[in-house]
Structure 1
Amino acid sequence: MRIDAGSGPQGRRLPGAGTSPFPPIADYGFLSDCEANCLIAPSGQVEWMCVPRHDSPSVFSTMLDRAAGGFKVAPYGVREPTARRYLPGSLILETTWQTRTGWLIVRDAMVMGPWHHTEERAGRYRRPPTNYEAEHCLLRTVRCVSGAVELSVLCEPVFGYGRRRARWEFSGPGYGEVVTVGGDEGDPMLHLTTDRRLGIEDSIAVIRSRMTEGEQAFIALSWGSLPPPRTWEEATRKQWQTTEFWRQWITGGEFPDHPWREELQRSALTLKGLTYAPSGALVAAPTTSLPETPGGERNWDYRYTWVRDSTFALWALYTLGLDREADDFFAFIRDVAAEDDLQIMYGIDGERDLPETTLEGLGGYDGARPVRIGNAAVHQRQLDVWGTMLDSVYLHAKSRDQLPEPLWPVLLRQVEQAAAHWGEPDHGIWEVRGEPKHFTSSKLMCWVALDRGSRLARLRGQADYARKWETIAEEIHEDICRNGVDDRGVFVQSYGTTNLDASLLLVPLVRFLPANDPRVRATVLAIADELTRDGLVLRYRPEQTDDGLTGVEGTFTTCSFWLVSALVEIGEVVRAKALGERLLSLASPLGLYAEELDPVSGRHLGNFPQAFTHLALINALVHLIRAEETNRAAQFAPAHRNT
């Protein structure tokens, strides 16, 4: 399959494709070293990269403005690669190029250090030692496998979200190394090293080199204290150790022997790449301001961690046997909640203040403005945060059959907060920027907080707290069943309305009611039949919900995967499998998902790749696989006869 700037998922042609200089969101490849990341277009150009952290100012912003710098490695004059893939079990991207005179293979990786134990990091967030270390280097290796190819490399950093072009100077002997100089305070110092001859043209580091069959080259962009590779042998060793890191990591998981094993592994690798190793946080996505509405204003910065993701992260990661990552993320949530009231979101090192501002200097992805950094939702009141926190604690404690003593004061404060405020209005799980309401899903998650809190109290032998919280949980349960259900027996978005909301698919998933309860079945089927567009799930109907924004968003991919899980819960396995297979067919060519999908064209919308979607994918596929196993076991169970 040939991929170009106008091809959508699985190579489908998108409306208007070819008229925009921006590649479709789904066509980007994602690389990470668990501290920083980058996105690479099919053209071989790095178009988004923030260093030294996921949420740092960008050094390449071409994804949001075609004039905002990039780092391209490709054959000269060739626009389209022949094929792209991740090396199996890794986050190493391989791109194959065919020219009129030869073939070239480029492999891109963000270098991981050897698989070893490092010292515990100092600072507030003290956690058990990790078993890897990033080397802060984007390594790009090139091999001519046939004929002869003219290699072209262009590296043009623009610091501070497109504000300041870098200036290169030669360093070291010969012409194989350049370094950025004269930047503003806070700009990273970038080193570019290669075994080819570099040139400097204005603010661009340039390579033009003819390669013949069997010849190899490397180009390394680094920003840390460790020395970059300076020879082909060093470069290949670092690429090999990175491959080994990812493959050893994925081997530590427990993946079912099933045709969907590869999809589960790709989602797990993506989630690992979205973690921030120094703190254990999980970023919602590596990007900012990729539009939910083409050309519209629904553009947000997702380079932070949401507490509610902890619940879904732990569900997914524990399910796959990836306990270390689940524990790291849990430790992050535990730490940020230890001293202050729990926020809905944090910076990736626990920062509590994430001021939202608009960048005037970037034109936006395909003209979608504003371009935002920071996120004002950090100050919203969302009552579900206590439930997600307590569900995480409960899952963690249940897996260990104990609750660590230092957690009890944290837990106590959060449950008491839910008990005191569950009856108040809020902005809801979708962070609507309209007036606060009594959202049913917010009450649902407050019930989760009290229910899980009472169970944990019993685990500790705290009978008084357990009885008290059970009583309040019953009160919330009765209130939801009285005010959050319409005349059809369907759970509704907010009290006093008949609006549907996809967050109510969580009713059976958090065990609020058994799956065979008529209200559960009615809610799941109503959402499946009425809150969908061409079979994919909307979060809500914008015309029914004052979310404070203009424009129409796409279908929300996380919610579509929730529907798969909920359909399995109510016994609609055939329908669930059909939806699951359709969603898998809509993955990007590299197996990734943005936040939303246009159900007609398959176009990916919103920030990319999105952790929430990959978490929901794992849970949905595991639901389906277990249902298949249960049905198979029942089918082949021996019949009992009276004798």
Structure 2
Amino acid sequence: MSTVEHESVTESRLASIAASVRSSELLGDLAEASRELDPALFRRLFELSRSPSLLVATDYDGTIAPIVEMPGEAFPLESSVDSMRALALLPATSTGVISGRSLRDLAAMSRLPREVHLFGSHGGETDTFTINALDEAQRATLAAFRAELTRVLPDEIIEHKTTGAAVHLRGLDETERLRIESAVAELAAAHPIHPTRGKQVIDLSVVPSSKAEALTRLRAQTDVESVVFIGDDTADEFALETLGENDLGLKVGHESAATHADFRLRSPDEVSVVLGALFELRKSWLFGRRATPIQRHSLLGNGQSTALVDPSGSICWMPHPLPHSASMFSEILGSETAGFFAVAPASGAAPLTQRYIGNSTLLETRWAGLNCIDYLAPVDGYSDDTIVVRVLTGDVPVRIRFAPRLDYATVPTRMARTDEGVQVLGTSEPIELYGPGIDFELVETGDSHTAEATVVPSQQPDGRVVLVLACGTGTGDAGFMATGGEHYVRERALNFWTNWVDTLTLPAHHREEVIRSAITLRALCHEPTGGVLAAPTTSLPEGIGGVRNWDYRYTWLRDGSMTVRALLALGSTGEAEGFLTWLSGVLARTVSPEQLHPLYAVDGSALTTEAVLAHLPGYAGSRPVRVGNAAEHQVQLDVFGPVTELLDELSDHLGELPENYWLLTCQMVEAVGKRWFEPDHGIWEARRPPKHNIYTRVMCWVTVDRALRIAHRFGREPRGAWRQLREEIAQDVLTYGFNEEVGAFTVAYGETDLDSAALFVGLSGLLEADDPRFVSTVDAIERELRVGPTVFRYRYDDGMPGLEGGFHICTTWLIEAFIKVGRIDDAWDLFRQVNNLLGPSGLLSEEYDPVAEEHLGNHPQAYSHLGYIRVAQLLDEHRPS
């Protein structure tokens, strides 16, 4: 099985095995049995279950199989076999059995599948053809030795193996034992035989071997970071001695002899409990807790910081201080151990509703007898501070759990109690939770602290509880908010959003949905810099359990331009002006415009190298979790088109063309003029060689076309042969882009694969709406890429394994294409289907899987909401009578 296939194992594939692990009669109730384990051992199992890669290896007799009088009847415990098999099927997890038995006997007796590595004869046998690997001298020695062994010892105590024999001593009286031990020693001394002594057995082999060498070889073969080894015999000590500080050694038995093991186990039954517990712990970590559907998360935002709240009232994601900074709450990426900030009834009652308060990002979660309002407080100036406010009202006991885990939970997070709450220790800037009057208890959770308290809001002096999490140096008013000033801060936060929404020009239909989309886009605009996030999250998967997990917390030139254009179309200009100022700053640090990267951090800096956070299990087990984005190094020549479209529409809206906007326009055309004919990686950032993508060529045409429109509108003289360039690009697209065999524009020149982005041949205006080539392209994409309420980007191999859902923005492109070609009823029908996919609080993620009916991708996604706004506006002109 390849690494990618291994990483793509889904929870459903393990369901039957997990059920057998849990239902085994010998194992009993795993949770109850695990409580009987040494707490320190269980903690160590918990830690090792989170290793990026893990090997679990055991001995056989006395470990996964009980010791019996007749070695031929030593069958393994069913629960241990189930656990070893289940562990072997988990991603980044390997299992093995290293036994003194012959490999043939081991395979027959254990009934373990091929996924479990088997080593017989103390590692001397690793497959059933070992005998063929013996040289002539070893064969001769083996034959002579076997003959003499059979002559001097009783047949019933001899176990013949491929490379030697085992002499069993169990059940012999002391005199007979001593006689046989002496005879074996003489035989071994007389032949080139390698003896290995166990408690009740002597193994003899013509091949030098040891469990230490076997375990070392298996470790290298599986390339793991941590090893758990369980043995019971003297020979197992050699393997235990090889273990390091990141490993765990366990020894079965009560004998008082010294051991290299970290813990002792009482019996093979307890081994089965350890293996079952390790499987459940690792499966839970790799595949996450029962993942909350992506679309049910709600966004908090204030134009500077963002956070996600799940429907149970837990803040499960919050980077600080910048959008791409490490998150102090990362629970959404698969595990509570990654950090969260939860409030909920102490009774464990489920929430009733969750909704935004009016037209804002202030969020209200309600339970029976409890209400929580969450928001990010407005921050004055251009600081990087983050202030989270949580207001609790009600008459039921509330459990508060504050579990920040710094740097994506890569380092222990310790706290100290203060007069007004708790303070996070060891940070470069203050991080403090204010909760005056609340008696927090600091609970040890591994190497970190969790602050916990239970309180009844109505019994507090103010009849409520105000929690203020202040992160940063300029958060001195946090105490004021917590002790009576919260009402004023909340009013400011509400007024900001309400006043802004009042300035928008909205369609007559689906107004509330458009407003929520607009607020979401506005929250993704980073006001201090003018940068715009594609999404506030990283690694929410494009396919559950798959590897298509990307970091979108950056500013793409394309996405950012399209986002602020959508807000401009609603009448808000500030975001567009801020973005163009940001872009001018980036260009000032760039040698020439054609060398612009596709994306930057919101502060205009280059991205760090894309990396994997191997310690996080990922949303619903979707790994790897990535930070950074390697697309920064790609060539994406379409990005100049959306920028120039923005310049065209903003200058038209303003009725003037500031000199810096004209300079930007000229720079975009200059970039296209130098590189439009080159292959590139395209809008979808395929991780494969560049090609002549049709969408890219169309956007290069858009760049020049919109620049000419700007020049004409304001009487400017083009800086070069712009008209000739526009015609040259258009002719190139029309000559090489349409595939007669397919009857449509395809993904790239000379290819037959369809791509939704090819719709822009008509959506951009390069072709007239009634051109048969555009109409047939619309039909082909609807036929081949639409599935129910969603439209896929493409179906071709993009160089990445695994599947993905349909993209909401592609669906809105098809709706727009329907409008263009006059299919208004079809446009309305598809729009209503998209509208039904909005999450409970009105948000859209990136994708939708119409088969599994799952929402996928980073959330909320700017692309999805800007597309929704655009088609809602276009359909406003075609409202049903």
Q: What TM-score, normalized to structure 2?
A: 0.63
The answer for the alignment partner of 1:168 in structure 2 is 415
Identity %: 36
CA distance in 2, matches of 1:268, 1:558: 15
Change (3 A) 1:197 1:239: farther
1:311 deviation in Å? 3.6
Q: Is the 8 Å Cα contact of residues 343 and 385 (structure 1) preserved in structure 2? A: no
Structure 2 residue 613 is matched with structure 1 residue 371: no
Structure 1 gaps, min length 5:
1-17, 122-132, 633-643
1:276 deviation in Å? 0.8
Equivalent residue for 1:149, pick from 372, 393, 396: 396
Structure 2 residue 482 is matched with structure 1 residue 238: no
Equivalent residue for 2:426, pick from 160, 182, 187: 182
The answer for the alignment partner of 2:734 in structure 1 is 481
The one-letter code matched in structure 2 to 1:346 is: Y
Q: Is the 8 Å Cα contact of residues 307 and 318 (structure 2) preserved in structure 1? A: yes
Q: Is the 8 Å Cα contact of residues 314 and 326 (structure 1) preserved in structure 2? A: yes
Which has the higher mean CA deviation after the structures are superposed, 514-523 or 575-584? 514-523
Deviation string 1:371-428 (CA, Å, 9 cap, x unpaired) is 1100010110011012222222222222233322234444333312211221111111
Q: Is the 8 Å Cα contact of residues 50 and 57 (structure 1) preserved in structure 2? A: yes
Change (3 A) 1:135 1:61: closer
SS in 2 for 1:140: strand
Which has the higher mean CA deviation after the structures are superposed, 470-479 or 329-338? 329-338
Name the one with the larger helix percent: 2
The answer for the alignment partner of 1:306 in structure 2 is 556
Structure 2 gaps, min length 5:
1-286
Equivalent residue for 1:218, pick from 457, 466, 473: 466
1:331-480 aligned within 5 A: 331-340=581-590, 341-459=595-713, 461-463=715-717, 465=719, 468-480=721-733
Q: Is the 8 Å Cα contact of residues 195 and 232 (structure 1) preserved in structure 2? A: no
The one-letter code matched in structure 1 to 2:514 is: L
Superposed CA RMSD in Å reads 2.2
1:46 deviation in Å? 0.9
Q: Is the 8 Å Cα contact of residues 508 and 876 (structure 2) preserved in structure 1? A: no
Structure 2 residue 455 is matched with structure 1 residue 209: yes
1:63 deviation in Å? 0.9
1:572 deviation in Å? 0.7
Which has the higher mean CA deviation after the structures are superposed, 617-626 or 455-464? 455-464
The one-letter code matched in structure 2 to 1:482 is: T
Deviation string 1:513-554 (CA, Å, 9 cap, x unpaired) is 22122222211222112111234100000xx23x22100110
The answer for the alignment partner of 2:346 in structure 1 is 76
SS in 1 for 2:640: helix
The answer for the alignment partner of 2:316 in structure 1 is 47
Change (3 A) 1:228 1:589: same
Structure 2 residue 342 is matched with structure 1 residue 89: no
Equivalent residue for 2:576, pick from 326, 350, 353: 326
The answer for the alignment partner of 2:535 in structure 1 is 285
1:310 deviation in Å? 3.6
1:278 deviation in Å? 0.6
Equivalent residue for 1:266, pick from 500, 511, 516: 516
1:27 deviation in Å? 1.4
The answer for the alignment partner of 1:192 in structure 2 is 434
Structure 1 residue ranges (4+ consecutive) displaced by more than 6 angstroms after TM superposition: none
1:70 deviation in Å? 0.8
CA distance in 1, matches of 2:719, 2:772: 32
Deviation string 1:104-146 (CA, Å, 9 cap, x unpaired) is 1111111125xxxx77x6xxxxxxxxxxx996211111111xx
The one of the two structures with greater contact order (alpha-carbon pairs below 8 A, sep at least 6) is 1
CA distance in 1, matches of 2:607, 2:560: 20
CA distance in 1, matches of 2:839, 2:755: 26
The one-letter code matched in structure 1 to 2:877 is: R
CA distance in 2, matches of 1:20, 1:472: 55
Q: Is the 8 Å Cα contact of residues 349 and 367 (structure 2) preserved in structure 1? A: no
Change (3 A) 1:195 1:526: farther
Q: Is the 8 Å Cα contact of residues 746 and 758 (structure 2) preserved in structure 1? A: yes
Equivalent residue for 2:331, pick from 57, 62, 66: 62
Change (3 A) 1:246 1:461: closer
1:486 deviation in Å? 1.5
CA distance in 1, matches of 2:531, 2:800: 29
Equivalent residue for 2:372, pick from 90, 100, 106: 106
The one-letter code matched in structure 2 to 1:201 is: V
CA distance in 2, matches of 1:84, 1:582: 23
Q: Is the 8 Å Cα contact of residues 597 and 603 (structure 1) preserved in structure 2? A: yes
Q: Is the 8 Å Cα contact of residues 359 and 371 (structure 1) preserved in structure 2? A: yes
CA distance in 1, matches of 2:560, 2:771: 28
CA distance in 2, matches of 1:480, 1:181: 59
Structure showing greater Rg: 2
Deviation string 1:610-631 (CA, Å, 9 cap, x unpaired) is 0111011100111111222xx8
Change (3 A) 1:95 1:586: same
SS in 2 for 1:78: coil
CA distance in 1, matches of 2:458, 2:534: 43
CA distance in 1, matches of 2:412, 2:308: 20
The one-letter code matched in structure 2 to 1:603 is: E
Structure 2 residue 828 is matched with structure 1 residue 559: no
SS in 1 for 2:308: strand
Q: Is the 8 Å Cα contact of residues 641 and 702 (structure 2) preserved in structure 1? A: yes
